[in-house]
Structure 1
Amino acid sequence: MSNLTRGLLIGGKEVPSSNNATTDDVSPWTGEVFAKVAAATPADVTAAVNAAAKAFPAWAAMLPYERRKIFLRAADIMEAKAEHAVATMAAEVGGARPWAAFNVELCIEILREAAAAVTQPRGQVLQTQMPGVSSYAKKVPYGVIAAISPWNAPFILGIRAIAIPLAVGNTVVMKPSEDAPISCGLLLADVLMEAGLPAGALNVITNDIKDAGEIVETLIADPRVRLVNFTGSTHVGRIIGTTAAKYLKPAILELGGKNPLVVLKDADIDYAVKTAVFGSFMNSGQICMSTDRVIVVREVADKFTKAFTEAVKSLPSGDPSDPATFVGPVVNKRAAQRVSALLKDAIDKGATVLTGTGEIEGDEQTLIRPVVLTDVTKEMEVYYGEIFGPATVIHVVDNVDEAVDLANDTEYGLTGGVISENMTEALAVANRIETGIIHVNDQGIADEPMAPFGGVKSTGYGRFGGDAGVDAFTVTRWVTVQETGRLPQYQ
């Protein structure tokens, strides 16, 4: 796979960039060039929007059953390519097998959910005071949608960015992350094209990271692009949201998280430990839903902390292609340096290290073995900053009120969990935590394509998934029909 070369997908054809530029897609574990992809120019962006705009009328008018068949076929094709997809994700972004396999499985289910959305009822019959008039509201596609997707869950977040928008009749110009142009963009497009998606309905533009600002600005500024959906960091999301607002474009932004897992005194500690390990270290903590903070009430803190630390110490780390590996490398050297610096700041300011060092390892300097900190204070950057790496913090609190206050002491509000066998108390605590998603007796990494997904506060706005996702990618049109031929009274 290291000899892979890919162009842009525009109007159903794979083409080079207009200036023939390419950029390297580098494996974080081996340091080898996984693929060379075309580096788009602003002219290529315009060409992609041209193709999407041209394809829109016919795609929106396609009979629902025909459109539905495409998504069902795509799900079957993705299922057949599962092993190839898992290997691609391991090589391209360092995704360990459990995470890569989950990505593929959920991608398949999102495609099937998109097929169901095609024939889902969309509209309302409205009351009216006008005699002889039928009045109704219907959901119609926007037109061309810009989809900007991240690298960390490439199959899940890549397909989520395009499947429902396409299913409800929009066409899409997709810009996948520079760190995952294959997994998060071109591979998914290949699957949909093989399933029969018409030329131009989905267009994929890849780019050099140095050109990202210009490429995104060109895409959002095009007047034919009617809506922007972006998943990524809060820092970049603010730029995307500001740019969209400048051009009066609605945006759906799914951004960062500082997700808590609250362990109450009635928790099953063995279960809580397993839950916290999964939530904190799946995909090396590089998930917007990762558990950054484990908040434990004092009555069970010692027992939990000891068992959790021992469990984390035993996690297999290293080569993402090894089926036994749970914690693989982070996505690139920049990410490793950022996470290591965040942890060093905490350690230098007095945080206690229960396991791990925060030091960068591996030939490519992208591996950080799992770290657990405690005694973290507000003066340390890790207290408020999103870790997005293989580390978490244990906070010990005296009571439930302190646990809730700490869980809410963040600019973010994506997801979280509460662990307790006392369901009354667990639900009461869950209802007080300020997040768009909350799970009782589970950690924050839970995702189903039929459920509304999104956060509050600086985690962004808008929702993917379920009815909310269909609503997000359609616009409501009011329609009336004068059945009796009544003339308007103007005298």
Structure 2
Amino acid sequence: MTQTARHWINGTWIEEGEAATTVDVYRGADHAAFLMGGAGTAEEAIDAARRTFDRTPWPHAPRLRAKTLLELADAIAARRDEIAREIAVENGKVLAHCLHETDAAISEARYYAGLARSIFGRVSEIDEGKQSIFAREPIGVAAIIVPWNAPSTLLLRSLGPALAAGCTVVIKGAHQTSGVNRIFAECLSACPSLPAGVANIVHGDLEVSQVLCTHPEVDVVSFTGSSATGKKIMAGAAPTLKRLSLELGGKAPALVFADADLDTATAEIVRGSIPHAGQMCTAITRVLVEESLWDAFTGRLVDALGAVAVGDPMDGSVQMGPLFDLQGADRYRTAVDAARQAGSTLLDGEVRDGHPRGNVVTPALFEIADNSHRLVQEELFCPLVLAERFNDEEAAVASANATRYGLAASVHTSDHGRARRVARALKAGTVWINCHNRLFAEAETGGFRESGLGRLHGLEGLDDFLETKHIYAEFGRLPGG
């Protein structure tokens, strides 16, 4: 058992709440101890963040903010391997992907350190002697609610722009990954330039989240999770008209045209469908294949998905770890049974026997013709991929856009003009061409429709944490020349 994860509020470690433990997702044993905070803990953290925002120079000190973010990047880098191992144990993602995720978090911190010193407003001369200044100012206190499936990079992609903008924050990570959250709290506490109260971390469950989403002193909520939970957050935030940054569910399609490079398309679709056993909002869940290519491509895809090694996420030879919990395994079984009834089985999925938790599963691939079926319309969050046929560009786009989700998609073709046409027609916040799941600190991501509000990463990642203030003055006619 590792050190108990405590709350970090106003620069002080707080021991408050009942003790609980996280679980080793693959082995099923208790793993990391933490203190389960409640409403009072959340309110204490919000009060600290509000006082710090209102009474210290932090919102007006961009060089201090940049320095702090660089210190945070260095602190994370110093514990990179430890963080990655902790993620692999607590959420089941294979270690190589956990290392990549932690590197992405470091990149986020360094990227927003640079932007902290590059937040500019504008000036406009409305008429002679009449001038408007449009200043960009931090919005205030930000609540950051982070899920269990990527606790490192999903924290930093909100925390980075929030701190760069000049906000103070209260972080509530998933209690299931409290061991990871503890290390990030320690990384923040190790930043000598970070003033007390700027960043606060509370461990807890729904009770803490509810306070963060309804408290009048929280100005913006940045949340990553399901669309259903995002809607509840919107309802809770409505009475105080909080700004919301929501990255929600996805149902990412990959469109494969007859002129695609089959080796590349196969490799990218396998790579894009199995990360974290499909428990990733941008993971490929639908493969739309041109009719003339159907037999050749689906045969390749069946072989490639069938060869995926599953098991212990700490084993370097394993390509896909377990599902997060037993509920996920039950959801997978239900989806596979429904897919067998709704369409043709191309690659049957299974829950592997002889495993202590019953959550190690194999990739599955089913053909389905009805894109109104619930398997197409609902986010499944497991490695079950649906294959669909199309005859032309128009049919492919119509089918790809036939859900209420619009987070990500990919287009596979050797025709550059077609790739651009189809990408523009897809209702998705990110469209990759001949690849999938390429994410960078510099490149905005976000959803259309029920996949969310706002953008994360990139320059626009700052927008949810900034307000524009208009300052107007009349100073008379200028002296003559």
Equivalent residue number for residue 247 of structure 1: 240
Note if contact 2:69-2:113 (Cα within 8 Å) is conserved in structure 1. yes
Note if contact 1:179-1:331 (Cα within 8 Å) is conserved in structure 2. no
1:229 pairs, out of 222, 225, 229, with: 222
Letter in 2 for 1:192: L
Equivalent residue number for residue 379 of structure 2: 386
1:191 pairs, out of 184, 187, 194, with: 187
Q: How many residues align?
A: 475
Note if contact 2:244-2:464 (Cα within 8 Å) is conserved in structure 1. no
Matched, 1:375 2:372: no
- Cα 1:59–1:327 change in 2 (3 A) is farther
Equivalent residue number for residue 489 of structure 1: none
Equivalent residue number for residue 253 of structure 2: 260
- Give the superposition deviation at 1:268: 0.3
Partner Cα separation in structure 2 for residue 376 and residue 75 of structure 1? 48
3-state DSSP of counterpart to 2:381 = coil
CA deviations 1:404-428 (Å, max 9, x no partner) are 1110010100010101111111111
Note if contact 1:8-1:14 (Cα within 8 Å) is conserved in structure 2. yes
Alignment of 1:304-323 (within 5 A): 304-323=297-316
Partner Cα separation in structure 1 for residue 476 and residue 373 of structure 2? 72
Partner Cα separation in structure 2 for residue 379 and residue 467 of structure 1? 37
Matched, 1:409 2:398: no
- Give the superposition deviation at 1:293: 0.3
Letter in 2 for 1:244: A
Note if contact 2:138-2:465 (Cα within 8 Å) is conserved in structure 1. yes
1:55 pairs, out of 32, 52, 56, with: 52
- Give the superposition deviation at 1:484: 5.1
- Cα 1:335–1:4 change in 2 (3 A) is farther
Partner Cα separation in structure 2 for residue 257 and residue 61 of structure 1? 35
CA deviations 1:116-150 (Å, max 9, x no partner) are 11111321112312x43432101101111111111
Alignment of 1:166-205 (within 5 A): 166-183=163-180, 185-196=181-192, 197-205=194-202
Equivalent residue number for residue 433 of structure 2: 440
Partner Cα separation in structure 1 for residue 57 and residue 325 of structure 2? 38
Equivalent residue number for residue 13 of structure 1: 12
Note if contact 2:5-2:33 (Cα within 8 Å) is conserved in structure 1. yes
What residue ranges of structure 2 are gaps of 5+ in the alignment? Answer: none
TM-score (norm 1): 0.93
Partner Cα separation in structure 2 for residue 320 and residue 26 of structure 1? 14
- Cα 1:437–1:168 change in 2 (3 A) is same
Partner Cα separation in structure 2 for residue 478 and residue 353 of structure 1? 60
Note if contact 1:255-1:459 (Cα within 8 Å) is conserved in structure 2. yes
Matched, 1:143 2:140: yes
- Cα 1:44–1:310 change in 2 (3 A) is same
Alignment of 1:69-468 (within 5 A): 69-129=67-127, 131-183=128-180, 185-196=181-192, 197-207=194-204, 209=205, 212=206, 214-347=207-340, 349-359=341-351, 361=353, 362-375=355-368, 377-378=370-371, 380-443=373-436, 445-468=437-460
CA deviations 1:450-488 (Å, max 9, x no partner) are 2221111010111112221111110100112444599xx
Note if contact 1:261-1:291 (Cα within 8 Å) is conserved in structure 2. yes
CA deviations 1:260-292 (Å, max 9, x no partner) are 100011100010000100111111111110001
Note if contact 2:134-2:469 (Cα within 8 Å) is conserved in structure 1. yes
Letter in 2 for 1:416: A
CA deviations 1:6-53 (Å, max 9, x no partner) are 111111122122xx3122211211111111211111111110111111
- Give the superposition deviation at 1:236: 0.6
Note if contact 1:352-1:376 (Cα within 8 Å) is conserved in structure 2. no
Partner Cα separation in structure 2 for residue 369 and residue 222 of structure 1? 43
CA deviations 1:28-84 (Å, max 9, x no partner) are 111111112111111111101111112224252463223212211221222221111
Partner Cα separation in structure 2 for residue 376 and residue 342 of structure 1? 16
Partner Cα separation in structure 2 for residue 62 and residue 195 of structure 1? 19
3-state DSSP of counterpart to 2:4 = strand
3-state DSSP of counterpart to 1:198 = coil
Letter in 1 for 2:247: E
- Give the superposition deviation at 1:297: 0.2
- Cα 1:418–1:116 change in 2 (3 A) is same
3-state DSSP of counterpart to 2:8 = strand
Note if contact 2:305-2:363 (Cα within 8 Å) is conserved in structure 1. yes
CA RMSD in angstroms comes to 1.8
Percent identity at matched positions? 28
Partner Cα separation in structure 2 for residue 282 and residue 342 of structure 1? 18
Note if contact 2:62-2:164 (Cα within 8 Å) is conserved in structure 1. no
Q: Which moved more, 1:357-366 or 1:108-117?
A: 357-366
Partner Cα separation in structure 2 for residue 37 and residue 137 of structure 1? 45
Letter in 2 for 1:107: A
Note if contact 2:369-2:389 (Cα within 8 Å) is conserved in structure 1. no
Matched, 1:66 2:92: no
Letter in 2 for 1:134: Q
TM-score (norm 2): 0.95
CA deviations 1:368-407 (Å, max 9, x no partner) are 1111111353574312111211221111222222211110
- Cα 1:477–1:340 change in 2 (3 A) is same
- Cα 1:481–1:7 change in 2 (3 A) is same
